[in-house]
Structure 1
Amino acid sequence: MQHEASSFFGTEPGHFTLAWPGEALFGPGCAERVTGWAVSRGLRRPLLVSDPGLVASGLASRVLDGLRAAGMVPVLYDGVAANPTIDNVTQAHARWGEAECDGVVAFGGGSVIDVSKVLVARLCSDAPLADLLREGDARIVRAAPPFAALPTTAGTGSESTTAALIKDAEGRKHVLRSRRCRPQWVALDPLLTMSTPPGVTASTGFDVVMHALGAATNRAANPVGDALALAALARSFGSLPAVLARPDDLDARADMMLSSYLAGVAISLRGVDGIHGLCTPLEALVSAPHGHVLAVTCEPLMRFNLATMSARYAQVAAACGLDGGTAAGEAAMAEALIERVCALRDLAGLPRSLAQLGVTRDALAPIYDVAQANASVQLNGRPMTREDIVALYDAMV
Structure 2
Amino acid sequence: MTEEISTIGNVEFNYPKKYIFGPNAVDNICREVEPLAKRESKILIVTDKNLMEIGLVNRILKPLEEEKYSLTVYDQASQEPTMSMVEKVAEKARAEKPDLVIGFGGGSALDMAKFAAAAVTNPGPMKDYITYLQDSIKVPPVPKILIPTTAGTGSEASGYAVVIEEKGYKGFVMSPKIVSDVAIVDPTLSQSMPPRLTAHTGLDALSHGVEAVLSFTANMFSDTYAYRAVELAAKHLRRAYHHGKDLVARAGMALAATYGGIAITTPAAVNIGHCLGETIGPKYHLPHGAACGIVLPYITKFNIAAWPERVASLARFFTEEPAPDVRKRALQVVEGLKELLLDLNIPISLKELNIPREDLEKLAEFIAKEQQYNYGLPDINPAVITLENTKKLLNDIWEGNI
TM-score calculated relative to the size of structure 1: 0.91
Instruction: Give the residue type in structure 1 aligned to 2:36.
Output: R
Distance in 2 of aligned mates of 1:167 and 1:84: 6
- Say if 1:386 and 1:324 are closer, same or farther in 2 by CA, change over 3 A: farther
Are residues 1:256 and 2:257 paired? no
State which of 311, 324, 343 in structure 2 corresponds to 1:328.
324
Distance in 1 of aligned mates of 2:174 and 2:255: 22
Distance in 1 of aligned mates of 2:329 and 2:366: 33
User: What residue number does 1:3 align with?
Assistant: none
**Is the CA contact 2:154–2:257 (under 8 Å) kept in the aligned structure 1?**
yes
Distance in 1 of aligned mates of 2:213 and 2:360: 28
- Say if 1:353 and 1:92 are closer, same or farther in 2 by CA, change over 3 A: same
State which of 33, 41, 44 in structure 2 corresponds to 1:38.
33
**Is the CA contact 2:145–2:182 (under 8 Å) kept in the aligned structure 1?**
yes
Distance in 2 of aligned mates of 1:139 and 1:382: 29
User: What residue number does 1:27 align with?
Assistant: 22
Are residues 1:120 and 2:117 paired? yes
User: What residue number does 2:310 align with?
Assistant: 312
User: What residue number does 2:353 align with?
Assistant: 357
Give the alignment of 1:259-278 within 5 angstroms.
259-269=256-266, 270-278=268-276
Superimposed CA distance per residue, residues 16-55 of structure 1 (whole angstroms, 9 cap, x where no aligned partner) = 2222332110101111222222222224221110111101
Distance in 2 of aligned mates of 1:48 and 1:346: 37
1:66 Cα deviation (Å)? 1.5
- Say if 1:140 and 1:307 are closer, same or farther in 2 by CA, change over 3 A: closer
Structure 2: gaps (5+ residues): none
1:266 Cα deviation (Å)? 0.4
Instruction: Give the residue type in structure 2 aligned to 1:76.
Output: V
User: What residue number does 1:4 align with?
Assistant: none
User: What residue number does 1:386 align with?
Assistant: 387
Distance in 2 of aligned mates of 1:252 and 1:22: 26
Taking only the aligned residue pairs, the percentage that are identical comes to 26
Instruction: Give the residue type in structure 1 aligned to 2:82.
Output: T
User: What residue number does 2:142 align with?
Assistant: 145
- Say if 1:138 and 1:384 are closer, same or farther in 2 by CA, change over 3 A: closer
User: What residue number does 2:214 align with?
Assistant: 217
Distance in 2 of aligned mates of 1:351 and 1:321: 19
Are residues 1:339 and 2:340 paired? no
Give the alignment of 1:157-306 within 5 angstroms.
157-269=154-266, 270-306=268-304
1:304 Cα deviation (Å)? 2.0
* Aligned-partner SS, 2:78: coil
Superimposed CA distance per residue, residues 113-132 of structure 1 (whole angstroms, 9 cap, x where no aligned partner) = 11111222222322542331
* Aligned-partner SS, 1:89: helix
Distance in 1 of aligned mates of 2:133 and 2:381: 22
Are residues 1:348 and 2:349 paired? no
Distance in 2 of aligned mates of 1:136 and 1:394: 29
**Is the CA contact 2:130–2:173 (under 8 Å) kept in the aligned structure 1?**
yes
* Aligned-partner SS, 1:352: coil
Distance in 2 of aligned mates of 1:15 and 1:45: 39
Count of aligned pairs between the two proteins:
386
